[in-house]
Amino acid sequence: MTGRERIFSGMRPTGQMHIGHYFGVLRNWVRLQHEYECIFGVADWHALTTSFENTKDLEIHMIDMVTDWLSVGIDPKKCLLMVQSLVPEHAELHLLFSMITPVGWLERNPVLKQQLQDMGLKEVVGYGHLGYPVLMASDILIYKASKVPVGEDQVPHIEITREIARRFNSLYAPVFPEPQALLTDSPRILGIDGRKMSKSLGNQIGLSEPPGEVRRKVLAMFTDPEKIRRNDPGHPERCNVFTFHRATGNARAGEIERDCRSGALGCVACKQELAEHLVQFLEAIAPYRGEYEGKRELVREILIEGSRRARLLARETLEEARRAMGIHYGIAR
C-alpha cells in the first residue's frame, strides 16, 4: 500500500444500507479513499456481541452491505475491503490487549451505557459485549491506523483505543500509534417516523429501494405536527421532510423553506416533490450499482482478496507486538 496516513473503519454486517448510512459513513469513506490509505472492514465478530443467536444470515447481510459500499463508489482498487473473521490476527491482538486493559475502563464506557438503554437491557449480554471496545482497539491498531473516521458519539471508543495503545507502549515497547478521531460532519437523518433510522424499526429508506417503495415511504413520513391545515405556517426546522430536502441537495430547498413558513406549500405537495427528488438522488449516488448488483460471487471475491492482503499487514504488527511482550520465542508464524 502507499505511504499515506492509514485509516481503519468498519461496520457490522446489517444487510442493505439506508440513506442514514450514506450520510453518516459512506459519503465520507468515498472521499477519504482518495486522501488516505484506507482499510474498511466487515465487523462480523462485533455482530456476535449482541446477536450471537442470529447468525444464519450473516453472509447474506455481509454481501448485501458491501454491494452497497461498492455501488456508491468505494473502490477496491483504492482501498482494502476485508472481513474481520478472515483476519484472525485481530482476535489474537484482542486477547493480548485484554490482559492489560482494566475492567473499569470498559464499565465506564458511556457508549455501552447508552447501548444498554437503547436495547432495554439492565446489564451486558456477555463477556464479549463488555469487552467489545478492546476488540475495536485491536481492529484499529493491528493496522497501525493513525486516524479513525467516527461520529461524535463514538469518540469514547477512540479514547479507549488510545489508552490501550499508550498502556501497551509504556509496559513493553512503542509499537502502536495513538490514533486520532476523524470526526464526520453529517446531517442527522431520521427515519420516516421521526425516530432514529434503523432497519430493525422498519423506518429506513434503503439505498437500493425501488422507486415505487421510495415514493410510498416518503408520503408516509411524519411532518411538522403544528402544521395541521395546508395553509398553516410551517416550521421547516422541526420537519424531517425538509431535513431530507436540504441534506439531499434539492436546489429548491430555499424556496420550499420560504413557502412552508408562509403557508403557501402544503405537506402533501412537499412530500411529493421530495419523493421524486429522492428517487433521482438515490440513482445518482450509486453510479456503480450496475457493476455489482446481483453479482454476489464477485463481491465475495473482492472481500476474500482484500482480507488476504489485510492479513499480511496484520501479521507484521502481531509479530512485533509478540516480540515486545517477550512471547515471540524467535518463532515466526
CB distance 192 to 220 below 8 Å: yes
First to last CA, the chain: 22
In total, the chain counts a number of residues equal to 333
**Strands 37-42, 6-11: parallel, antiparallel or unpaired by DSSP?**
parallel
Residue recorded with cell 489508552: 163
All three cell numbers of 287: 453510479
How many Cβ atoms sit within 10 Å of the Cβ of residue 281?
A: 19
Lowest-confidence region among 45-54, 80-89, 248-257 = 45-54
Q: Percent of the chain having pLDDT more than 70?
A: 99
DSSP, collapsed to helix, strand or coil, labels residue 60 as helix
Of the candidates 222, 172, 179, 219, the one whose C-alpha atom is nearest the C-alpha of residue 197 is 222
The pLDDT of 254-263, averaged and rounded, is 90
pLDDT for residue 24: 92
Asked if residue 176 lies in contact with residue 168, where contact means CB atoms within 8 angstroms, the answer is yes
Confidence (pLDDT) at 108: 85
Q: Which of 100-114, 188-202, 218-232, 309-323 has the highest mean pLDDT?
A: 309-323
What is each CA distance from 95 to 88, 154, 174, in whole angstroms?
11, 22, 19
**Measured between alpha carbons, how far is residue 171 from residues 12, 142, 175, 177, 321 in Å?**
32, 18, 11, 14, 11
Helices in 109-263 by DSSP H: which ranges? 110-119, 127-130, 132-141, 155-171, 211-219, 240-247, 253-262
Question: Has residue 121 got a pLDDT over 80?
Answer: no
Reply yes or no on whether the pLDDT at 154 is more than 90: no
Residue 150 main-chain phi, psi, to 5 deg: -145, 165
DSSP state at residue 142: T
pLDDT of residue 232: 82
> Which residues make beta-bridge pairs with 79?
38
pLDDT for the residue numbered 201: 86
pLDDT at 259 over 80: yes
Which residue do the cell numbers 463477556 mark?
Answer: 127
Question: Residue 289: enclosing H or E segment and its boundaries?
Answer: helix 289-292
- Give me 165's grid cell: 495503545
pLDDT of 151 reads 85
CA 1 to chain centre: 23
Distances (CA, A) of 92 to 49, 255, 274, 294: 17, 56, 49, 35
Q: 0.75 exceeded by the pTM?
A: yes
Say which residues have a Cβ less than 8 Å from residue 84's Cβ, sequence separation at least 6: 10, 41, 42, 43, 44, 45, 46, 90, 139
Q: In the predicted model, is pLDDT for residue 238 greater than 60? A: yes
- The pLDDT of residue 272: 95
Q: What local confidence, expressed as pLDDT, does residue 2 receive?
A: 62
- Predicted confidence at residue 3, as pLDDT, reads 73
Lowest mean pLDDT among 50-64, 194-208, 228-242, 297-311: 228-242
pLDDT of 1 higher than 60? no
Domains of the chain: 6-189+294-325 (3.40.50.620), 211-284 (1.10.240.10)
**Average pLDDT, whole number, for the chain?**
92
